[in-house]
Amino acid sequence: MQTPPRRSPGRPFAATRDAVERAALTLMLRDGYEQVSVDDIAREARIGRTTFFRYFKSKPGVVWSAFDDTISWLAESLTEKHEYPGVLDAVRESIVFSTRSAIYNSDVWLERFRLLDSSAELRADAYDHWERWASTVATFVATRTGLSPQDAIPMAIAGAARGMFLSELRNWLNTDDDREDILDRLDHNLRTVFTALSGLLAES
What is the pLDDT, as a whole number, of residue 12?
A: 42
Q: Which of 140, 69, 65 is nearest to 98 (CA)?
A: 69
Q: Which of 121, 123, 99, 108 is nearest to 181 (CA)?
A: 99
Q: Which of 157, 46, 65 is nearest to 108 (CA)?
A: 65
What is the pLDDT, as a whole number, of residue 15?
A: 38
Q: What is the pLDDT of residues 97-126, one digit of tens each?
A: 999 999 988 888 888 888 887 888 888 889
What is the pLDDT, as a whole number, of residue 114?
A: 86
More confident residue, 16 or 73: 73
The pTM for the full model equals: 0.85
List Cα–Cα distances, 177 to 93, 143, 172, 174, in angstroms: 21, 36, 7, 9
What is the pLDDT averaged over residues 188-192?
Answer: 96
Distance CA 10, CA 111 (A): 25
Per-position DSSP letters for 50-110, written without gaps between them: HHHHHH-SSHHHHHHHHHHHHHHHHHHHHHHTTT-S-HHHHHHHHHHHHHHHHHHH-TTTG
Q: Which of 62, 18, 17, 54 is nearest to 36 (CA)?
A: 62
pLDDT of 34 strictly over 60: yes
Distance CA 18, CA 115 (A): 18
What is the pLDDT, as a whole number, of residue 8?
A: 43
More confident residue, 86 or 123: 86
Reported as a pLDDT band with limits 50, 70 and 90, residue 183 is very high
